[in-house]
């Protein structure tokens, strides 16, 4: 009886190992099929993905330090000679993301 039980146990273990190995190879093949490489000129670069991250606090602090002189102007202190600096600050402000603009508006 122990001999039959041992054989069954051995067969079950082998089948489980085969199942485990086949599942890993299928999963890897599926994952690898989604990697986009440049095959037209034999360039071996692989791009898996990218993460768009913007440090709003850093961008706002940089904008404030770069355009501190323009931001310090008031309606009483602004002159015609400040026109190019004000336009440069407005252009830089327009290039900021909506979140950065909202942070600056506070």
User: Would the pLDDT of 66 be above 70?
Assistant: yes
User: Would the pLDDT of 32 be above 80?
Assistant: no
For all residues of the chain together, what is the average pLDDT? Answer: 82
User: Would the pLDDT of 65 be above 80?
Assistant: yes
Contact 38, 47 (CB under 8 A): no
Give the start-end residues of each E strand in 1-94.
36-37, 46-47
pLDDT at 6: 76
Q: In the numeric block, which tokens belong to residue 46? A: 């692989």
Distance CA 20, CA 10 (A): 15
pLDDT at 102: 93
Distance CA 56, CA 59 (A): 5
Q: In the numeric block, which tokens belong to residue 1? A: 């009886």
- Is the pTM value of this prediction over 0.85? no
Contact 78, 86 (CB under 8 A): yes
pLDDT at 54: 82
- In percent, how much of the chain has pLDDT > 70? 70
Lowest-confidence pick of 44-53, 69-78, 84-93: 44-53
């Amino acid at each position: 009886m122990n001999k039959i039980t041992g054989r069954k146990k051995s067969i079950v273990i082998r089948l489980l190992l085969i199942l485990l190995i086949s599942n890993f190879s299928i999963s890897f093949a599926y994952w690898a099929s989604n990697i986009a490489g440049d095959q037209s000129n034999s360039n071996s670069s692989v791009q898996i993905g990218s993460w768009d991250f913007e440090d709003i606090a850093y961008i706002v602090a940089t904008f404030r330090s770069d355009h501190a002189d323009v931001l310090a102007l008031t309606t009483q202190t602004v002159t015609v000679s400040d026109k190019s600096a004000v336009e440069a600050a407005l252009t830089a402000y327009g290039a900021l993301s909506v979140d950065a603009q909202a942070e600056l508006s506070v």
